[in-house]
Amino acid sequence: MESGTSQPLRDPNQNAAALWADGSPTGLVADRVPAGERRRTPPETQALPLKDRVALVTGSSRGIGRAIADELMRQGAHCVYNCVSSIDALQQLMFGREARPGRSVAVQADVGDPQQCQRLLDRALEEFGRIDILVNNAGITRDRTLRKMTEEDWLKVVNADLNSVFFCTRLALPPMIERGYGRIVNVSSIIGQTGNVGQANYAAAKAGMIGFTKSVAREVARHGITVNAVCPGFIDTDMLAAVPEDARQKIIGNIPLGRFGKSEEVAAMVRFLVCEGAWITGQQFNVNGGMHM
């Protein structure tokens, strides 16, 4: 630059998408776009925040888990989908969906079994060579009042909903630590915060996930890994569809926003934590329509 000349400076924090949409922000040459036309970024060049990241989402054959996995793929991630059964149905769902930027693979594994968990993680590393994002979503319910609850009812829920989080997180941490990066999101529940009649097993497991989240977040923060929990309220999934209509209406009456949530709304929170939550860890985020504040 010649002495005495000056050029306008561009604010490095200015939103790139806004620059293209406006056509001629202050300090940028505007004569490349004809007057009256809007400058647009070609779709193939738009930034994908998770481009080349690898995500593993447990329990992702349907409902919240599937919505999360699909959303992470929309953001550019490669994704490992997981189911405990019906692998053929899951693969057909994956092949039938809209095109996504990343690659995906479906792996059948019961994440409540440490050996099957190991196989799941091994398959992810074999396919993609790394794991950047882990979403512990798998879970079941076996609802009974405590007096009627059997040992099997208790153990199955705690194993599927809580032990699986331990198994998967323990296995995913070494490759994350090696790369100095990781995003772990544990899908807990409003029931883990408030309790519920007939769900002592489920409430204990989901509350345990919150405590687990806070402890592990403290352990791994120095390695560039964040660990957070998302606590959905009553989401309109297959599980909720089985609830009698009169009970459904009673639940809605206790939700300030007056409706059940959508799986995609939970997925949006997970997306935020994974894409923009670099300085957020050890927290629990409520997606519940205001039912618990």
Give 263-290 as a 3 state SS string.
HHHHHHHHHHHHHHCCCCCCCEEEECCC
Question: What is the C-alpha separation between 275 and 4, in angstroms, rounded?
Answer: 43
Stronger pLDDT, 44 or 210, i.e. the higher one: 210
113 CA to centre of own chain: 22
User: Has residue 175 got a pLDDT over 80?
Assistant: yes
Q: Give the largest CA-CA distance in the chain.
A: 86
| Alpha carbons within 13 A on the beta-carbon side of 60 | 27
Residue % of the chain over a pLDDT of 90: 76
The CA–CA distances, whole Å, from 51 to 23, 35, 148, 180, 185 equal 26, 34, 49, 17, 19
136, 209 contact by CB (below 8 A) = yes
- How does DSSP classify residue 223? G
Phi/psi of residue 83, each to 5°?
A: -145, 160
Query: Considering the chain, what is the average pLDDT of its residues?
Result: 87
Helix H or strand E segment including 184: strand 182-187
User: Has residue 269 got a pLDDT over 80?
Assistant: yes
Residues 6+ apart with CB under 8 A from 119: 107, 109
User: Has residue 68 got a pLDDT over 90?
Assistant: yes
* Mean pLDDT value of segment 203-214: 98
Could you state, in order of their start, the residue ranges of all structural domains in the chain? Answer: 15-47, 48-287
Stronger pLDDT, 77 or 3, i.e. the higher one: 77
* Mean pLDDT value of segment 196-207: 98
57, 135 contact by CB (below 8 A) = yes
| Alpha carbons within 13 A on the beta-carbon side of 290 | 8
139, 168 contact by CB (below 8 A) = no
Query: Would you call 222 exposed, middle or buried from its count of C-beta atoms within 10 A (0-12, 13-18, 19+)?
Result: exposed
User: Has residue 16 got a pLDDT over 80?
Assistant: no
* Mean pLDDT value of segment 40-65: 83
Query: Would you call 224 exposed, middle or buried from its count of C-beta atoms within 10 A (0-12, 13-18, 19+)?
Result: middle
Architecture of domain 48-287: 3-Layer(aba) Sandwich (3.40)
Q: Which residues are catalytic?
A: 202
Stronger pLDDT, 22 or 243, i.e. the higher one: 243
